[in-house]
Amino acid sequence: MRKTGSFVIPAPSEPGKIAMYSPAFYAACTAGGILSCGLTHMAVTPLTLSNIDPAKYKSISSGFGVLLKEQGVRGFFRGWVPTLLGYSAQGACKFGFYEFFKKYYSDIAGPEYAAKYKTLIYLAGSASAEVIADVALCPFEAVKVRVQTQPGFARGLADGLPKFVKSEGALGLYKGLVPLWGRQIPYTMMKFASFETIVELIYKHAIPTPKDQCSKSLQLGISFAGGYIAGVFCAIVSHPADNLVSFLNNAKGATVGDAVKKLGLWGLFTRGLPLRIVMIGTLTGAQWGIYDAFKVLWDCQPLVVLLLLLSPLLLQLSLQRCNFGNQQIYRVVLWKLRKQ
């Protein structure tokens, strides 16, 4: 067995297993990133909406109540399509390129220095991957924030994207790229470096059994625990930039100076922080759990993997079908009323 980061990868000689740094290995990392980021970010859309206006949504429970009263059940998932597609693209680049850059920088450093300065390798690899990942995410994030923060702007991505481009031009989709880098690069550096270190410490000091002898369920549990702890640190370091991105995408023509003046430095660092810690901790833990579970499934259940990859598309198609059915029912009822 050979170890890379937090994963124990079977040697190429083992039949039916992924060869280290092979095309199948990078494909598994990329596909795992799609699921771990796309599905989890879509699932916490209600929490994201509650975090938009902390003065209005003072707690999670009361925020859900206000949201349900004002917008109904559909309001809980407003903007879910750009969230799903954007963070799926980001996850693919984040995890796939992280493994690529981690090997690339390790090869440059050489075995001795790569082992000695492995944390720096984790930091450099994750930062490089996130630069690329955010270019993929930024247009979807811009539309998502506008849909979520301005009721009536658009129903989702299909009508929101052309409306956004018409209003601010195609380059307007990347207006928040630099603040997005400011939020996501520190977040991802903390996410990968702290996770790798925390999991290593858990296996070294808390688990008496070597990792390759632990059950899969125990390994996945440790991945979730390590991810949750890492997520708390991630939330703290990325929170000011998160508030900045939300402000810039919500206010047409706003600048960083406008955001600092409006929110204040204290507000920039603390506005909505407790909710973000809960959300990001859970989110990051779930992402690492899904990512590790996916890599296990990739080896033994390829059909299940295919269904998981298709699940976002199947979900969107089913919701569109339900929406079409509701429209047909509405037309029939309207026709009946007119006949009376």
Assign residue 228 the CATH number of its domain.
1.50.40.10
* Average pLDDT of the segment spanning 166-174: 93
Place 86 in a pLDDT band, splitting at 50, 70 and 90. very high
| C-alpha dihedral, 252 to 258 to 261 to 264, nearest 10° | 70
Asked whether residue 278 carries a pLDDT value surpassing 90, the answer given is: no
Residue 25 and residue 4: Cα distance in Å, rounded?
12
Q: What percent of the chain has pLDDT over 70?
A: 74
Does 335 fall in a domain? no
Q: Which of 19-28, 41-50, 207-216, 317-326 has the lowest mean pLDDT?
A: 317-326
Stronger pLDDT, 251 or 173, i.e. the higher one: 173
Asked whether residue 213 carries a pLDDT value surpassing 70, the answer given is: yes
**Would you say 236 and 201 are in contact if contact means Cβ atoms under 8 Å apart?**
no
* Average pLDDT of the segment spanning 53-70: 65
Does 323 fall in a domain? no
Asked whether residue 327 carries a pLDDT value surpassing 60, the answer given is: no
* Average pLDDT of the segment spanning 310-327: 49
Stronger pLDDT, 318 or 334, i.e. the higher one: 318
Does 96 fall in a domain? yes
> What pLDDT sits at residue 61?
62
Q: Could you report the per-residue pLDDT of 32-57, keeping only the tens digit for each? A: 899 899 988 888 777 666 666 666 66
Does 62 fall in a domain? yes
Place 96 in a pLDDT band, splitting at 50, 70 and 90. very high
Asked whether residue 6 carries a pLDDT value surpassing 60, the answer given is: no
* Average pLDDT of the segment spanning 122-128: 97
Q: Which of 62-71, 168-177, 187-196 has the lowest mean pLDDT?
A: 62-71
> What pLDDT sits at residue 4?
45
3-state secondary structure of 6: coil
> What pLDDT sits at residue 63?
63
The answer, as to whether pTM is greater than 0.85, is: no
> What pLDDT sits at residue 12?
37
Alpha helices in the chain (DSSP H): 23-43, 45-52, 60-71, 80-109, 111-116, 118-149, 157-168, 177-201, 216-250, 256-270, 273-300, 302-339
Residue reference for tokens 């809960």: 278
> What pLDDT sits at residue 44?
77
Place 107 in a pLDDT band, splitting at 50, 70 and 90. very high
Provide the domain count of the chain: 1
Does 151 fall in a domain? yes
Stronger pLDDT, 110 or 324, i.e. the higher one: 110
Does 186 fall in a domain? yes
Stronger pLDDT, 145 or 129, i.e. the higher one: 129
Averaging pLDDT over each range in 80-84, 120-124, 321-325, 335-339, which range is the top one? 120-124
Does 320 fall in a domain? no
* Average pLDDT of the segment spanning 267-273: 86
Place 214 in a pLDDT band, splitting at 50, 70 and 90. confident
Q: Which domain holds residue 194?
A: 26-300
Does 327 fall in a domain? no
**Would you say 97 and 128 are in contact if contact means Cβ atoms under 8 Å apart?**
yes
> What pLDDT sits at residue 212?
82
Residue 147 and residue 295: Cα distance in Å, rounded?
34
Name the nearest CA neighbour of 231 among 36, 92, 67, 59.
36
3-state secondary structure of 9: strand
* Average pLDDT of the segment spanning 152-164: 91
> What pLDDT sits at residue 62?
65
3-state secondary structure of 3: strand
In the DSSP assignment, the letter for residue 213 is: G
